Amino acid sequence: MQATEFLSYALEGHKHDSKTDSFMKEIDNLFTLGLSEQSLNRRMINEATVRVDVGSEQWDKVSTKTLLFQLYRKAGELRGYNPQAQYGSFLGLIKKLTKMGIYGSFLTDKYTEDEINEVASYLTPGRDELFTYVGLMMLSDRYLARDYINQVYELPQERFMVIALTVMQDESPENRMEHVKEAYWALSELYMTVATPTMSNSGKVDGQLSSCFIDSVDDSLDGIYLDNWDNARVSKHGGGVGVYMGKVRGRNSSIRGYKNKASGVIPWIRNLNNTAVSVDQLGMRSGAMAVYLDIWHVDVLLFLQIGTNNGDERMKARDVFPGLCVPDYFMELIEADEDGRMLTPDAIWHLFDPHEVRQEMGWSLEDSYDEEEGSGTWRTRYQECIDNPNLRRIEVPVREIVKAMVVADIETGSPYMFYRDEVNRQNANKHKGMIYCSNLCTEIAQNMSPSSLVGEWVTEEDGTEYIIYKRKIGDFVVCNLSSINLGRAYRDGVIRRVIRIMMRMLDNVIDVNNLPLHQATRTNKKYRPVGLGTFGWHHLLAILGIKWDDMASVELADTLYEDIAFYAIEMSHELAMEKGSYEYFEGSEYHTGVYFDRKGYTDARHNWSTLKAKVKKGIRNGYWGAVAPNASTALIAGSTQGIDPFYGAQGIYYEEKKDFKVPVLAPDLSPETWEFYYRQNAHYVSQEISILQNARRQRHIDQAVSFNLYVPSGIKAKDLMQLHRKAWRNKLKTTYYVRGTANLVDDCEACQ
């Protein structure tokens, strides 16, 4: 490689500026130092990235081309072709990696060589230059296929095509290639992204493609340990896990009739914590788990301290993320006046043990919710528990619970909030179950129930004895995620086209997936749930010239997400007519039409009445929408993450991990968009407006939204609780982190 060869590629089309001469001089010097190829590559990229700044955005493109130059050279060297051609034989790559045991044989079993050569002709190397530097870096570091000694063989367009081939492998032969082409188009134009497991594992041997899993733990020793085993296997294959612990008996409960013997949920949560750390996904990252508990559970105060600086260190679990399941009634008790003073300052909250409630009352308190605002089964049963003198309880002032929540929020950014009554009222499949909690990133809301061991026996086969365990299958939630890039797709007028592709891709993941648990596979087939989401919200506002804090942003959230809902449901119906409805469709609110009535849809913007009539005949997916955080994959696509405001002040911030620090510019940064990013970054925008935006958005999403609250350091407790109250009053189903300027928290990468 010569310096002139590199510079002619990296600086092609580059506008000459004061930094160009110094860059060229430094590159010439580097080539004379006799550096190793790895050191030379690192130094070349550094020379480009240090020149990136607001006003010098073109240097990001130089950084991108520098990395592309290196990827092309390495691929050519490993695969035996001239790197000046950029891409080599796609069929050759598939055969090579299949032989090496990296790719699964299904690629060559399902597709003929002629078909693979046909899709190879669709590959468009020029789309590599759509990437920003940080996006290309993340794609190459985390997702491009490597051999067992970590050498990268794939190139970006090949990764996108392998994803398309994987998810479309079982489509009917007469139109399969068209579906592959459409999926590749949407991915390679960066109109959409797929979630981390789909992005990374497509095409691979035993590739697990789903992001999010949720389990509920049975209140038994077998149930607790089997659940831990289940979650370890999910984590091993790259999934993030939400775990509902609300059925597990609390501290000082009885065991086999012996009183005051139970140690409570915290020791079991510590076991999950150890599993998350130990099952570290081949050293790439630690496993990630969120644990949810009801706010009336007898152990809730200890639970709220599992990550804080106060309390007994033996009761900590700092590597799991706590989530709090909160009923309307509790939020009503903490309603405040205009000055933030609690309207019921002397209110008492009663904490109960779920095991003792089952024993004494004959039902489980967590199995109900309030069907109407202000009334319903849950609060009736809660009062019955209070009125029963035989039932042990701990009485705590409501303000003490609130204090513990606020301390945890400020110190750790959690607990996540799960507003259980609103979630279950909005559940389109309440005819088949109950939703107890959400997932690791708070955007999934589906029916769930614990699996339980019901028997074991010994059998003999061919002279070998086996122990057979019989387990009753519960609903172990799985969700398959994909997100549309609002900044690009809206601008180019392709939202409906992209959503139709995404829904087909997501639905196909259910059938081609290799899930690690039988109960997860069974639940996935019963409901066929998918999570179509979005990212690039702030990006979209900027290119449309809408300031974050303007009410116009709230109105756009309403109309845009109504569009998304209509197109997604429309496509899911068409897939049902083509392939059949989900197993539990009959009796659902799609079947009865109640879903559309409850949403209050009219024909003002879309022909909802016609769609309602069609959907009564069938819909493919029992759950279809979920807006995940997408931090990493949004960076890959060159946009802003999820529905969050841009993080950096003045149009730039630095993405920093243990092994790199690179500049991230606001997307489409220009004199026209400057004012819509400058001083409108995450900690400066109105959180009240953010909540209103999300309330409009949530109305149209059947599951939930990963929604962060950004607060300043030193925020007062009453002001923080006011934000939580506002979120609940506006019918948000969940909130994710409380992100302060002092508490730094990392997004879950499983849902990216």
Rounded to an integer, what distance in angstroms lies between the CA atom of residue 366 and that of residue 244? 11
Per-residue DSSP letter, 190: T
Between CA 707 and CA 715, with CA 713 as vertex, the angle to 5 degrees is 80
Cβ neighbours of 631 (radius 10 Å): 22
Spatial CA neighbour of 425 closest among 364, 382, 368: 368
Contact (Cβ atoms closer than 8 angstroms) between residue 267 and residue 251 = no
Per the annotation, the verdict on 150 as an active-site residue is: no
Per the annotation, the verdict on 748 as an active-site residue is: no
User: E strand or H helix at 289, and its extent?
Assistant: strand 289-294
DSSP of 210-242, one letter per residue? --EEEEE--SSHHHHHHHHHHHHHHHHTT-EEE
Query: What are 441's two structure tokens?
Result: 């990133």
Catalytic choice (201, 427, 439, 508): 439
Report the sign of the C-alpha dihedral through residues 293, 297, 299, 302, in that order: positive
Residue 300's region, left for phi above 0, alpha for psi from -120 to 50, else beta, is alpha
Q: C-alpha distances in angstroms, 29 versus 8, 50, 70, 92, 503?
A: 16, 17, 18, 37, 51
Spatial CA neighbour of 534 closest among 567, 479, 487: 487
Rounded to an integer, what distance in angstroms lies between the CA atom of residue 563 and that of residue 495? 9
Catalytic choice (437, 441, 748, 751): 441
Report the sign of the C-alpha dihedral through residues 658, 663, 668, 669, in that order: positive
Spatial CA neighbour of 78 closest among 164, 17, 144: 144
Contact (Cβ atoms closer than 8 angstroms) between residue 527 and residue 584 = yes
The greatest distance separating any two alpha carbons of the chain, rounded to the nearest whole angstrom, comes to 86
Per the annotation, the verdict on 388 as an active-site residue is: no
Catalytic choice (443, 562, 570, 589): 443
Spatial CA neighbour of 298 closest among 254, 257, 251: 251
- Residues marked active site are found at 439, 441, 443
